[in-house]
């Protein structure tokens, strides 16, 4: 089975807008889903250059989540796990 790719942005803007907590959350996710997901970080995904989007940003299998927090990431993960 193909693993779900989760990419967390740790750029300055994402970090100060709440992304600082996401690496800790990533650890929890890794414990929960184990081999089903692969988590990586990015120094900047360039979404912050687009003023219509709001950080922090997380990409799950190419799908962008704005204002990412624990809840949004969990919900989206569960929805694609089901399908």
List interacting residues with other proteins (CB under 8 A).
8-13, 15-17, 20, 23, 26-27, 39-44, 46, 48-49, 51, 55
CA 81, 61, 76, 26 dihedral sign is: positive
CB of 81 to other proteins, least distance (A): 21
In the bound state with other proteins, the residue whose beta carbon lies nearer, of 31 and 82, is: 31
Closer CB to other proteins, 52 or 83, in the complex: 52
What angle, 0 to 180 degrees and rounded to 10, lies between the N-to-C axes of helices 70-82 and 22-33? 30
Nearer to other proteins, 45 or 76 (CB): 45
């Amino acid at each position: 089975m193909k693993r779900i790719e989760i990419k967390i942005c740790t750029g300055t803007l994402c970090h100060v807008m709440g992304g600082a907590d996401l690496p800790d959350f990533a650890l929890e996710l890794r414990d929960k889903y184990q081999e089903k997901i692969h988590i990586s970080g990015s120094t900047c995904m360039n979404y912050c250059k687009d003023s219509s989007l709001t950080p922090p940003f997380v990409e799950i299998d190419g799908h962008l989540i704005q204002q990412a927090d624990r809840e949004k990431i969990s919900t989206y993960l569960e929805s694609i796990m089901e399908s």
